[in-house]
Amino acid sequence: MKQDHSEKLPSVAPDSRQAEGPCRTILDNAPDAIILWEFCGADQPFRIVEANRSACERFGYSRQEMLGLTGRELNAPDSYINVGDISRLLSERGYAVYEMAHLSKDGRRIPAEVAGQQFQLDGKTMVVSVIRDITERKRLELRNQGLTSFPLANPNPVLRVNPDGKITFANPASAPLLVQWQPGTDGRLPAPWPDIIGEVFRSGCRKITEITCRNQVFSLTLNPDVENSYINLYALDITDRRRMEDEIKEKRDFLERLNDSLPEAVFNLDHPGHRIVYVNQQVSKIYGYTPRECLGQTMEFLFNSPEDFQDYDGELTRSIERDEHYRAFELFQQNKNGERFPCEIIQNFTHRPDGSLGIIIIVRDISERRQAQAEIEIYQHHLEDMVLERTRELELEIKSRLKAEAELRELFERERSLSTELKKQIEERLLFTRGLVHELKTPLTPLITASDYLEQHLNDDTARSFAHNIHTGALNMEKRVNELLDLAQGEVGTLKIHPSRFNLNELLVSIVGYMRPDAERRNQRLELNLPEQQLFLNADPDRLRQVISNLLANSFKFTRRGGWVKLTVEEEEESVVISVTDNGSGIDESEQPFVFQAYHRGQTSEKSRLSGLGLGLTLSRMFVELHGGRIWFESSKGEGSTFYVKVPINKQGEKDENTHR
């Protein structure tokens, strides 16, 4: 007989008849078997006078059959021989905790731990026993005993420590635990293990805990042997199991999140009973109930009447009997506010791992679909009327289209004739422009050369001034002629660029050096803002020079004396942005849409004093777009303007050297 010196159980005093009902309820719902014995004498010491529901279920007797059974009938013979010692201990101390081997009605042996309390009731000696089934614990103890027989060969860690926490034995497999613990030179385990071991030894009860050793997780069983004053430690590597548990939990959490993200309510019912054991969060949106409010109930509360639910539940049962695993249908249910709504039900059956049948119910609110169907039906009728009307209209339209097709063919022929004539005129215009440029530039060349020579060699200031004016006018005339030729080539698609790799910083410094005298003549400040690093472009330097020079010249024209003009370069990802900013008169909002149109010369009030043909910005846009870039501006009347030119850094020449078309 195994005795335990745990805390003494409280005495049980007789209670009044009024408390019998609640006490009966408590007894019948207790998880352990509880038996009330009456002491009958030395020959038959104890007889059962009361037993709770757990006792009847464990031993296989009805309550009526349990009443009157003796200790000899309920205990195994080898266990019953200790009844005398137990009776003496109860008489001396009034309580005892011990182990017994009971027999069920069918002869099955049931090892149990019994906590007994002796008391007097109406002059009779009574004993109340709280009986706990320790079959599983005995099985584990038997297994552990088998392991202790071969500790050195055991692949799992096995250790033995004394009540003070000092290691007296450790097999080779215990190395990970010893590395983790790092016991002292006297073999004593570090805190808090001595306190844990002392508590286990004093209680005499086995303790199971877990310990992590680097990348390994062990389930550690502390099994006390009070009689021999030591504790055996058995460790089992559960790393893989823990990892699998974590993976299973992660997958379960993922599935729950997936279910909660579904637009339908998902119910899982048990069978039989058809009670809700799981429901996703969508039930709150569809029905207004929380999942907790639904668990443990049948689906009756979701139906308008008990009769409706009985019809549904009966059909569900018949589907199970017919082994009809999948079924879909529509019916009406109600939400928490009592509002009825149509829904689509999809039910399926599945077998759980324990062999029981699970019922999956998917509910989809089809109120909007029903409404849409009704609207579709109305619309279909409307469409039919419209089709009839439209058919009559189409007949008239077909006749009209046949007439229109004939007219279109006539227009097409006319357009083709006009297109041919336009191409001919474009070619003639190009030939004319080229001839005109040639005729204009032929006399300009000696005029430019001669005026330049005279300006350099004449000593008379008046004559030299005349020569300078002639030279400047000739250069301006040559520039206008070149612009006319570029515009004509751009319009007919023959304008080209010739990309090459060059230093942008050096080009801009050269342009500013060339344009600065013009700014100084106007008493304007010209600033150049360059990045510290040198920028290299793959572009046409001559065309970019022409674009920047034109933008600077425009800023000079529209900026008052004493104003300023800034030329700035910023590097962006795979491109550069060149900006020209001034504090001039700005561009009126009404004229901004026409800035890049050919022959547009800015503000009407200033046209009389402005030179040029109004082709600079038109050509600038052509040149920038040939580089695969773009040009734009920001301006407000009276607040100045900023023109931006964005071109790729590594723009490669396209076919035909980037011809503008």
Helices (H) and strands (E) in the chain, counts: 19, 22
Residue-level pLDDT at 111? 92
555 neighbors 565 (Cβ within 8 angstroms): yes
Give me the phi and psi of 420, to 5 degrees please.
-60, -40
Q: Is the torsion defined by CA of 74, 77, 80, 84 positive or negative?
A: positive
CA geometry: angle 403, 405, 406, nearest 5 deg: 65
Mean pLDDT by 10 residues, the chain (661 residues): 39 49 74 87 76 90 89 86 82 87 90 90 88 86 63 79 86 84 84 87 87 85 86 86 83 75 81 84 85 85 86 84 81 86 85 79 84 86 86 88 88 85 68 57 66 76 74 63 62 74 92 88 92 90 88 90 93 91 89 78 50 70 87 90 91 46 47
Q: Rounded to a whole number, what is the distance in angstroms from the first to the last CA of the chain?
A: 108
**629 closest CA partner among 538, 505, 493, 503:** 538
Burial (CB < 10 A; 0-12, 13-18, 19+), residue 441, is middle
- Name the residue with tokens 């249908």: 329
C-alpha atoms less than 13 angstroms from C-alpha of 115 in its C-beta half-sphere? 12
Cα-trace Rg, the chain: 52
The structure's pTM equals: 0.34
* Neighbouring residues of 561: CB distance < 8 A, sequence distance ≥ 6: 522, 523, 524
- Residue 644 pairs in a beta bridge with 579, 632
Separation of alpha carbons 75 and 79, rounded Å: 6
- According to the model, what pLDDT value does residue 452 have? 72
Task: For residue 462, count other CB atoms closer than 10 A to its CB.
Answer: 8
Kindly compute the dihedral angle of the four CA atoms of residues 463, 469, 475, 481, in this order, to the nearest 10 degrees.
-120
Cβ–Cβ under 8 Å, residues 166 and 146: no
Contacts of 430 (CB under 8 A, 6+ apart): 488, 489, 492, 494
Q: To which H or E segment does residue 211 belong?
A: strand 207-213
- Shortest CA distance to 220 belongs to which of 206, 236, 198, 238? 236
Instruction: For residues 329 and 97, give the distance between their C-alpha atoms in angstroms, rounded to a whole number.
Output: 61
Phi, psi of 477 (to 5 degrees): -60, -40
Query: How many other C-beta atoms are found inside a 10 Å radius of the C-beta of residue 551?
Result: 26
